[in-house]
């Protein structure tokens, strides 16, 4: 990484519905998010990531060099 090169941290929250009710995110959804982001990291789209949950919300925390409001990063989260 060059000196002065900017890195963006994107935190995208997905209200995906709960399992059961509004208490938690289904474990398979967390696993799928981790797999998708791991692939994106391997392909060089993102630098690193962390998948977190709070209640029925899934948070995708990603570092990348695409800049703020990147349609590519938001598209990855939507996918």
1 within some domain: no
Give the predicted TM-score (pTM) of the model.
0.87
27 within some domain: yes
If you write DSSP's letter for every residue of 42-59 in order, what string do you get?
HTTS-SEEEEEEETTEEE
9, β-bridge pairs: 63
* Structural domains in the chain (count): 1
74 within some domain: yes
| CATH code of the domain containing 12 | 3.30.1070
**pLDDT, tens only, 3-62:** 778 999 999 998 887 777 778 889 999 999 999 999 999 999 999 999 999 988 999 999
Which domain covers residue 34, as residue numbers? 8-78
- How far apart CA 24 and CA 26 sit, in angstroms, is 6
């Amino acid at each position: 990484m060059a000196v002065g090169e900017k890195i963006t941290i994107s935190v995208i929250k997905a209200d995906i519905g709960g399992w059961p009710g509004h208490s938690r995110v289904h474990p398979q959804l967390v696993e799928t998010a981790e797999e998708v982001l791991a692939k994106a990291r391997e392909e060089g789209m993102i630098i690193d990531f962390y998948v977190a949950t709070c209640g029925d919300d899934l948070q995708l925390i990603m570092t990348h060099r695409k800049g703020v409001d990147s349609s590519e990063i938001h598209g990855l989260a939507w996918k």
